[in-house]
Amino acid sequence: MRIAGSVSGSAGVASGHRLATEAGIEALKAGGTAVDAALAAAFTQWVVNAPQSGPGGEMVALVAGTDGRVHVYGGWSRAPLAPAGGDSAAREGWPATSGPGNAVVPGSLRGAEAAWKAHGRLDWTDLFSGALTAAAGHTVTARMADVYERVESRGHVAALRRMLGSERAPKAGATIRMPDLAATLEAVAWQGPDAFYRGRLADRLVEAAEAEGAALRHDDLAAVEATAETALRFDLDDIVVWVTGAPSQAPITPALLAAAPPGADPASRDFAEAVATLTEQQLTEFCIRGPARPAGTAVTTALDAGGLSATVVHSLAGVQFGTGWVAGGTGVAFSNRVGTALSDRADLPGCNLRGGAVLPHTLSAAHVRRRTGPGWMTVATPGGDRQVQWLAQAIQRFRRGAATADIAAGSRWFVCPTGDRFGVPAGIGEPWYAFAEPGIAWHDDTRLAGYEVRHTSNVGGGLQLVVSGDSTGRGGKRNAAELVSDPRSGGAALAVS
């Protein structure tokens, strides 16, 4: 077993946090599948990346087998059946983006359960081992210290107190414990997701919601169901791309790739000019149908020795940037997507509040195979409306034959409105800009395809991926694949040879 940002092996895990990656590896060593490993890593991220992901948010899993079939399991969040404060049209200033009144009905655990039932091999309880160990005490990384500092700077000190027992952001190197979240995850581990949606834990969540202004009720939790479907397939000249479908933005990515010259460098002006305006058009259209604007997404990607690859994208958009609401005594932070994915604008009917509706998302993942010759990639990256753009750039590097590490670490760019990196729906009709990292060919230009160019030292995010040159080698033996954790995320990749 080796740990690094980029590793090779017949099985392995990549995620945005070392402890999550290690939890996934332990699942593989115990005989688990790639889905078991990805979920074990994701559940651990619910602790070690608590302000950014958790059971109070949403999840999607994309699973690709050696038989060529790709499936998607969605644990999508929903708007409450009876929104807080009554009819949105009568509420001045709605939608706000913070506070318990904008909390979603979370679907994460139902999505995880669906993927595990279809592809898991370990006991459900075993998937929480890493999470429970981390909740008992873990060391804050430099990246997470920065995240907690942002939570404090936004005034979400009550959330910090309920998560950590302190209103001050912990520093890098500090040891933190999460006893309330540990008790919640232990109940879910031993009793299953029904403990969250129908059991005593559900009672506690609803009691907290009623006391603090969230719309969450028992009927909301009981109505949550996962989706299980075949991934959307797009055939391009040289590659086949499968992506997560509605309510995800992911289908925008193949449209961008189809518009770009197959051989163009994704950092080049030719590539950017071919897709930048289309990106704005596609994101605007998505907003009309139903937009999304998450913040604080986590990704885990895993490969098992049987060739099954799985990537799990899960979001909270809750404490760092969103509601700032942690349900009292449970440690569960809630996503604020009701406030960020919706709007009362008449020109964006897809954004309008409908009780019980599945909320649109930017949670996106892709599986890519070459049409001629060997080679495939499973990939996902967090980052709101930037996500489909980053996926397109990563896939473009793959189709150009770039080194796996360069696919993850290569310079990125994106277009976005108003300088807000999670721009829609609020930015529709506002000026859009092109943001570029150092290393982008047009980084120092003033304009690109009509957009003002703005510099950014780091676009953020944490792309995780697994790339295989072939499914089998001589004698039917599997060749080693490469697993990579984006260095921007401060995570790690582990491989088992």
Taking only the tens place, the pLDDT of each residue in 375-400 is 999 998 776 677 889 899 999 999 99
Q: CA 466, CA 324: separation in Å to the nearest integer?
A: 34
The residue type at 299: V
Q: What is the dihedral of CA 165, 166, 171, 174, to 10 degrees?
A: -40
Q: CA 264, CA 272: separation in Å to the nearest integer?
A: 9
Contact 241, 364 (CB under 8 A): no
Q: Exposed, middle or buried by CB within 10 Å (0-12, 13-18, 19+), for 149?
A: middle
pLDDT band at residue 87 using 50, 70 and 90 as cut-offs: low
Residue 405 CA, chain-centre distance (Å), reads 20
Contact 411, 234 (CB under 8 A): no
Q: Residue 460's pLDDT is what?
A: 62
What's the mean pLDDT in 183-190? 98
Q: Residue 319's pLDDT is what?
A: 57
Q: Residue 150's pLDDT is what?
A: 85
Q: Residue 1's pLDDT is what?
A: 36
Parallel, antiparallel or unpaired: strands 239-243 and 232-235: antiparallel
Q: CA 452, CA 447: separation in Å to the nearest integer?
A: 5
Q: Which range among 124-133, 255-264, 407-416, 470-479 has the greatest average pLDDT?
A: 124-133
Q: Residue 302's pLDDT is what?
A: 93
Over pLDDT 90: what percentage of the chain? 55
pLDDT digits (tens, 9 = 90+) for 69-81: 999 999 998 889 9
Q: Which range among 122-131, 244-253, 306-315, 406-415 has the greatest average pLDDT?
A: 122-131
Residue 473 pLDDT > 50, yes or no? no
Residue 57 pLDDT > 60, yes or no? yes
pLDDT digits (tens, 9 = 90+) for 104-137: 899 999 999 999 999 999 999 999 999 999 999 9
Contact 287, 350 (CB under 8 A): yes
Better-predicted residue by pLDDT, 292 or 371: 371
236: helix, strand or coil: coil
Q: Residue 294's pLDDT is what?
A: 44
pLDDT band at residue 314 using 50, 70 and 90 as cut-offs: confident
Question: Token pair for residue 363?
Answer: 């949670």
Show me where the domains of the chain are located: 2-137+177-496
Contact 16, 460 (CB under 8 A): no
Yes or no: is domain 2-137+177-496 CATH 3.60.20.40?
yes
Could you tell me if residue 254 is left (phi over 0), alpha (psi between -120 and 50 degrees) or otherwise beta?
A: alpha
pLDDT digits (tens, 9 = 90+) for 325-351: 899 899 999 987 777 777 777 887 777
The residue type at 77: S
Q: CA 300, CA 311: separation in Å to the nearest integer?
A: 6
Q: Which range among 152-166, 194-208, 281-295 has the greatest average pLDDT?
A: 194-208
- How would DSSP label each residue in 193-217? THHHHTSHHHHHHHHHHHHHT----
